[in-house]
Structure 1
Amino acid sequence: MRCLRFFLLLLLECVPLASAVRAQAPQQFLKQFGTAEGLPQPFIYALHQDRAGYLWIGTGEGLVRFDGTTFQAFTTKEGLAENFVTQLAEDPKTGQLWVGHYQGGRSHSEDAGFSAAPKTARGPFRAQSGLPIPDSSQLGAFKRRYHPALASGTAISCLLRDQEGTFWIGTSGQGLWRLVDAHVTLFPSATRLTALGGTGRQVLAGTATGKLLRVYQQKGRLAWSPTLSVIPGSITSLLPLLSSNRVVVGTDAIGVWQQTFPRAQPSAALAPASDVLTKTSSLPSDLHVTTLARDAAQALWIGTIGEGVFRVTKDETQHYTTASGLLQNDVYAILPDHQGRVWFATHGTGLAVLEKGRFTVHRLVPGGIDATTLAEDAAGRVWVGTEGDGLFCYENNQFRQFTTTNSGIASNYCYGLVPTSGGLLVHHRNGLSLGRTYTFAPFTTPDNPVIHDLLPNASAVLPHLDSTVLLAARNGLVHVQLPAQLPARSSPVSLTEVEIDGERQRVTQPLHLAAGLHRVTWFFRVASLSPSGTWQYQYRLRGFHDHWSRPSSLAEADFPRLDAGQYVLEVRARRGSDGMWSQSVFSPLHIATPFWRTWWFAVLVLAAGLGSAYVFTRLRTANLRRQKLQLENTVRERTAELRHEKDTTERINAELVVARDAAEASRRAKAQFLANMSHEIRTPMNAVIGLTHLLRNTPVTEEQGEYLAAIQSSSQNLLVIINDILDSSKIEAGKLTLERTPLRLPEVVERIARMFQFATESKGLYFHTEVAPDVPIAMLGDAVRLTQVLVNLVGNAVKFTTTGGVTLRVSTQAGLGAEQPLIRFAVLDTGIGIAAEKLDAIFEDFSQANTSTTRQFGGTGLGLSIARNLVQLHGGRLWVESVEGAGSTFSFEIPCTVVDAATVRPEAVGSLAPFVPALRVLVAEDNDLNQLVARKTLEAWNVEVTIAANGRLAVEAAQTAPFDAVLLDVQMPEMDGYEAARQLRMLFPSAEQFPLIGLTASALPEDRVLALEAGMNDTLAKPFDPAVLYARLAFYTGRQVTESLSGTPPTLPASAEVSSHEYAANHVTVRWELLEELSSGNEGFIHSIIHTFLAQAPQLATELQADSSPIVLRQVAHKLRGQAAYFGLDSLTERLELLEDKRTSFSAPELIAHTSYIQQELMLVYPVLRQRLGMNKLAV
C-alpha cells in the first residue's frame, strides 16, 4: 500500500513537471537606462570603462559618465570638439581618455575637463569619421551564449563587459542595457528538490516525495527525464556509483536504498527500487541519513542524525559514535581524502578526523565550529565550510581561515563547496562566491532572486563540462557557467574634490598650502557599476593620526584645524558591512611651516640671543667693575663709621650690663628684703595671734575680751598686709601658681562672713551675703587664692565704709554649659566711692584713689593689684563701678568646673576631737623623728599607731593585723612607698575599705600622679598640717567626727607659705611656728622632737662625710632632710635635696663642698635648739 501511494503521487505530478520545463526559459536580469534616467538620447555608439571604474558612454548629443548612480554629461561647453561621440579609448600609459567624433574630430581629457585635439591627431583610433561598425562576430557569440532577452527589434550597436563581470549593451534607439549575472540561470522544478548527485553523463535529483529524476543535456540545454522512480521516503542524499551504474540513496527515516539504472539511454525509465541495504548489511531500518561517501577501498560511509557513522563493506559493517572518538553523533558531511583520512563535520563541536584507526579533533574556534560541508581540491587541500565562521583551508598540517573581512567571500555561512578546474565554487544560502587559490570574490549580485534557498551539500558538475555546475534549490536547479577569470573584488575609490577654507577645487597631487591653520575637507566616492550594494568608507590622515576612522557611508573627510606639516590622506572603501576593503587611494598635503618655526629662524634667534648675552655680559662686567670701585670706597667709609659705632655700642653695652646687673641685684635684694621682712614680722605675729587665741580661751573680763579681740583683728590685718607684699613679689616673678582642688563655695562665703563679722560690728556696719540658688555647691579651684581675692575686696569695702554696710553677692552667668558656668562675685559698699578719673589707677601697685586715703584709712595699695592678678590667673576679669560719695561695686567673674558635692572632703574647723571608736593606723616611716611626730599627733586623736621602718615591714604588718588606714612615706630603704602601695593594693583592692595616704617631702604634681598610679588614695606634704591629716583620716575612714567638721579640706595656714629664711652671720633662725602648730602648743612634744634631732643629726652628718656611695648619700640625706624640715631650715633642706636627687651627680670636690656646708649649718642650728631646751652650755 505504501509503494502504491507513492506511484499515484508520481503520476499526478508527471505532466505539470514536463510542461513547466519546456515553458520556462533561463532567467536573466536586464535593466534599461534611457533619457528618464539621465541619458541625453537613447542612441549609444561607444562604451568604455576607465581605470577608475567610471563607465563612459558616447551618444549623438555628448559624452556621458556613469558612476553607478548618476549620469553626468559633457558637451562642447566642457571642451569637447563635437557633441557626436562615436569612439572611446584610454591611453594605457597616462590614463588619458580620448574621444572620437562623427566628423573626425578628436578630444582628450584634461584635469579641468576636456580639450579638442588638432585635426591631424589620430589618437588611438583607426577610423577617422563616421559611425562605428559593430563587431558582428562578437555580438553573435554573446547572443548564442547568454541569449539576452532584449525587446523585439532591438539593434545592438556596442558591447562592454566591465570589471565586475556585468555586460553593458548599447543600442540604437533603445538606450543602454545592463545584463547582470548572465552566467547564472534557473531551471525550475514543480517538485521540491532535496538532493542532487552526478554520474557518467547524467545528473540525478531527489525530491521530498521520494522521486528520483534524471537531468541530462540536450542540444546545449538541460532537460528532465520523463521517467520516474519512487522510493517510499524523503530523499536526503545521493551517491552515484560510476563503476556499477548504480546509485545509493539516503532517506530521512527508512535508511539506505540502492537503485540500478540503464547506461545508454538518458531518457529511459529507471528500474524499480530494489536491494534495500538495511536488510542486507544489518543497518537499523529507521536511520535518518544526512550524507553518503565512498572511500578508495570502495567502502560506503553513511552519516546519520543521532546514530553516528556507519562504514559498510561486503564483509562487515562498522559503527562509530562518540564512544569511538566522534565529537557528536550528528554528522552532516563526510570526506575521504586522497591520503586515506576520513573527515567528519559536526555542528557546534568542530571536525573529527579518522586516520589509521584513531580520531583527531579540530575545534578551530573556542567552543568548536559549526561545520556544514567538506571538499578536497585538485591540490589536495581540504576545505571546511561553516555556519558563521567562513571557510577553513587545511594545508601543510595547519588551518587557514577565510571570512568576509579578510577575503572576498560573499558570506560567512557556507552551504556547499564544489571544486572545479575553474576554481572553488562556494554556495551560500542566497549567494555564490568563487575562489582560485586563496583569492575569493562574490560571484553574483546580492539581490539575485535565482540564488535563493540553496540546499546544503547538493551540487553536481556536468560531465565533460568542468566549468558548468548545477546547484539544487528548493524550486529547481541553478545552472552556473564559471567565467575564465574572477570578477573584480571591489571598485577602486577615487578622490573627487577637496575644499580648502571654504573653496572647492579638483584634487591635485600633492596639495600645497601656505602657513597657518586651515580647514581641509576631501570628497571621494567609488565608481561602481554594480546594480546594488551600499558602500562604506574609511580614512586616516597620516601625520595627524594613524588610526582608521569608523566605517561610514559619508563620503567625505573633514579636518577643521590643520597646522603646518606633511600629511597624507588615505581612503578605502568596501561594499556593505562585511565586504573586502578596496585598495587605498592617497592624497598628499603639505602645509608650509611659519618662518618663526623653521630651523634657520631658530638658529638665527639663538645666534641673536648669544650675541645679546655676550654684549650684555660685557656691559654688565664693566658696570660691576665700576660698582666694585664705588663699593670699595663706600666700604672704607662705612668701616670707619662702623668702627666708631662699634666702640660706642660696646661702651653702651658695658653700661647696660652694669645697669642690668645692678637691676638684677636690686630685684634679688628686694625679694630677699621682702622675704626676710615678712618672716621676721610673721614670727612674732604668730606668737601674738596664738597667745591672743589662748588668752581668749581663759577667763577674762568683758573689757579684757574687747582688748583681746582688737589685738587679734589688728594682728590679722597686719598678716594680710604681709601676705600681700609676699604675693606681689611672687606674681612679679611669675612663680605664683593656682591649685585645682574641690571646694565648697558656700563655705568660702561663710568663712569670709565670719572673718569680717567683728570688724563690721565694731564699726556699726551691716555685712550681708547673698548666694543665688543656682550657684553650684562644689567646684574645682584654689580656695586659698579665691579667699584672698574676696578678703582684699571685702576688706577694702569695710575699710572705706563708715555708714551703711557691705554686701557680698554671688551669682552665675552663662559660660560653656551647665558644667562650666561663670561665677560672678560682687562686693557692694556704701562708702566714700571713687572718682571716675581714678578708676583705672586703683589697680596699680601701691596706688590708691588719693594721697589722703593712706593717712585716713591706711593700707599699702597692693590689695586690688594682687586681686586683679589672681582673677586673671583664674581666667577671669575684675572691674569696678563707683560713684564718688555714694559707694562702689567691685565685681569679678571666673570660670569654674562643677563637681559632685559628695566627693568634696569636709573642712576641719575648731578643735580636733578624738575618733570614737579608736582608729587603727599603720605608719610606714624610716625617720625616727618623723615616727615620733606621727605617733604623738595621732595618739592625741585616740588613734592606735603601729610603726613600720620601711615598706617591706609595712606590707608584712598589714597582713598580720587589721588597720583602718595606712600612712606611707614614699622614700624608704629596702622598699619605697610606691612599691609598698602597689603590693598593698594587690592584697587589699578596695580603696574605700583600706585607704592609703602618702607622705612626701615633695609638693610636685608629678609625685602626686605617681602616688595615685601606685594605688594611693591621697598624698600629704611633710611637715603635714595636723588639721589636714585629721580631715583626710576622717574622710577616708568614714568616721563621724564632731559637728564642726564639714566642708572642703583645710589648707595650710597662710604662714606656711612664707619661706626663703636665710642664715645671717653666725646666726640661724628656726621657724618654731611649724612645731607649735604640729604639737598644738605642747611644749613636751616639742622637746621630744628636739632631743631626737640632737641625738641623730650629728651621726647622720658624720655618715655624709664618711661615705661617698650615691645610694648611701641619698638615704642619709633623705633622713636628715625630713628632720630638718620640722624646724623650717629651708637653706639646709635645699642642700640636702640636691644630694637626694637621683638626677644630679657630683664630682669629688663638689661633694666635699656640699657636705662641709651642711656640717657648718648644723653647727649653727645646734645652739638654737639647745637654747629652747635650756641646754646651750652643753657640748654636742
Structure 2
Amino acid sequence: MRNLPEGPDKEAIALLMARIQHDPRVKEVLGNEDLAVLRYLLNGGPAGSVSGTKTERDLQLEKSMLSAFVENTPAAVAMFDTQFRYIAYSRRWLEEYKLTGRNILGLSHYEVFPNISDEWKEIHLRCLNGAVERNEEDRWRPDGWEHDQFLRWEVRPWYQYDGQTGGIMMLTQDITEMCLQREELRAAKLQAEQASLAKSEFLANMSHEIRTPLNGVIGFTDLILKTELSPTQQQYLSIVNQSANTLLHLISDILDFSKIEAGKLELDIERCDLHELVSEASDVLAFQAQSKGLKMTLAMAEHTPKHIWTDPIRLKQILINLLGNAVKFTEKGEIEMKIEAKPAERPNHHHFRFAIKDTGIGIRKEKQHKIFDVFLQEDASTTKKYGGTGLGLSISNKLLGLMGSQLQLSSTPGEGSTFYFSLLLQTAQDTPPEQPEQPDMNEKTESTESNTEHFSVLIAEDNGVNMLLLKTIIKRIAPYATIEESVNGEECFQKCIENLPDIIFMDILMPEINGYEATKMIRATFPETHIPIIALTASNAIGEKERCLAAGMDDYLTKPVVMESIAYVIDTWVRKMKVHLNIDIVKDIVGDNEARLKEFFSIARKEISNSFTKLQEHFEHQDMKGIQYSAHKLSGTAVSAGLVQLSRIAVKLEDMQEFDPGTISGYLKKMKEEMITGFELMDKVSREGTE
C-alpha cells in the first residue's frame, strides 16, 4: 500500500480504510467488486495494488486486444458511443461501405452517411434503450452507388462495467452478390417456366391443328372402309387409314414426352383385369405381325393374379410400344410376350415380370445404352430403314420410372432382343365368373335394335369437314335422328332456347363463344332439364377432360372420332332410358296416370335408398347373410321400378356365397352409380312425361 500523505488527511483516510475493511455493513451495501475499486482508489489509483482489481496495464492490454479483434474481425462490425460516434470498427466495415482510407474514428455515423433514413435512426435509438433488432435481408441504396445493396444486419447495445449502456454496435453482412445471383436464378427460372409453358401451349395448339384435319382423314376412311369396295380400293384406303393413325400416334408420343419432361404426367391407379389388358395390347399389333408372317404368342404363368391395381392405360402403352418395336425390327420368326408373378413380402402384393422377346435384328452391346435416349435409335441406318422417332423406348422407360421400375435389355445381334421390366403391384381377389362390368355388354346388344328410334341431335362445330363427318356417322347409326347444326357457342345456345335437343355434341374451341362457355350458359338457363352434352376436342392435354366435366359436360371425345366412339356415346346417353329405366315395366304397374307415376317413383326411391344403406352397413360389419338379404330386397324393388341395370347388379351381389371385400366394394360402387342414373331418369320422366 502506498504511503498516505502526512497530516490529518492521512489519519482520516487510514481510519476510513480500517472501518471499510472491518465493517460488514459496508460490504453489504457496496458489494465485493465496488469495495475493491474503492480500496484501489484510496490506495492511490493506478500505482496501487488491490486483489480482484485490474491494473492500468491490464486494462490497456484488454482495450488493445478488443480493438485489434474488432479491427481484424472478418465481418463488417462497428461500435458507437451514445452519440453514435465511431469508437471502433473493422477493416471489412471500411471496405464494404467504401470508406477505405478514411479515418472515421470519433465521427458521427450520420455525418459519415448523411442520407440515413429516419427509420434507421429510430432503430438506433431503440437499441440504445436496450432493444436488439435484426433483419435477414434488407435492401437500400447507399449515396453515390449505382445499384442497391442487400444487407443482413443486427444492431444491439453494448454495456460498460457499471451496467450502463455505452452505445450500440452494428454487425452487417453484405449479401448483395448472393441476392443478385438469386434474382438472376429466379429470373432464369421464370424465363424457363415461361418457355416451358409456351412450348406446352405450342404443342397443344399444334396437336389441335393437326388432329383437326386428321379427324376428317381417319373418320371418312373409316366410314368408307365399312362400305362395299373392290380389293384394290380396300388396300389403298387401308394404307391411308393406317398412315393417318401412324401420324396420330406420332403426335401422341411427342405430347406424352413433353408432359413427362414437364412433370405433368401422373398415374391414374385403378383396379383392372391383367389378362384382358395384355390381350388388348397384343391384339393391337396382331394384324401387323400377321402381315409380316410373324408368329405372336402370349405366355402367362399359371396362377398369375387376374386383377391388379395399376394405371392400365400407361401399362398398356408400355407393352404396345415394346411389342411395336419387336414387330418393326423382326423380319421372320416369332414374338413372345411372357408374364410371370411371384408373391411379395407385402400382403396382397406380387412381383410381376413382363418380357417381350423377338427374333429380330438385335442390338450391339456398345449401342444398347443409346436406344433409351430421346430421338435416338441404334444408328442412322436403322432410322432410315425402319422409321420412327426413337421416342417409344424413352417414353416407356420414363413411364416405368413413375412406377418405380426401369427397362432392361438382353440382346444378341442377328438373333433377337428381350426387353423386360419388373413391377411390384397390389393384387385383388378374383371376382366370380360374371363380373359387374358384364351388363355393359347387354347395353350394347339392346341398343343395336333401336336404330329406328327418333331423337334430336345438336352439333356445335366450326370446322366444315368435322361437321360433315359427325352428321354422316350419326345418320348411319340412327337414320331417323333429327340433326341441327351450329357453328359457334352462341348459335348453339340460341338453338337450345328454340328447341332443346336430346343430345349435344359440343366442340371446345369455337369462335365468339367457346364450348365451355356455351355449356355453362345452357346449364344455367335450363337447370330443371339435363341434356347430355358431349365434349369434342382435338386436344389431349392433361386436365382437359376434368375441365370439360367441371364446365357441366357429361362425356368427352378426343378427335379423331370414329363411328364406334359416337355409337357408344349415343348408346350411353340417349338410349340408356331403355336400359337403365324401362318405363314400360312401370306403366304395366301404374298405367299412364302421371300423378300415380310420380307417387310410385317417390316410394320406389325411398325403398331402394333404404335397402342400399342397409347393404353398406352389412358390408362394414362383414355380414354376408345381411348383404344377401338386402340385395334380394333391393333387386325386387328395382325391377318393379324399371331400374333394370340396378336389379341385375343386386342379383349378382345376392348370389355371392363368400365375403370378398374387393368384389363387394366394386358391386356397391356400380350400384350407387346406377342409382344416381336411375333417379335422374325418374326425375326427367316426372317432369317431362313418358312420351
Larger radius of gyration: 1
TM range (shorter): 0.3 to 0.5
Whichever structure has more strand as a proportion of its residues is 1
Whichever structure has more helix as a proportion of its residues is 2
Q: Which one scores higher on RCO, CA 8 angstroms, separation ≥ 6?
A: 2
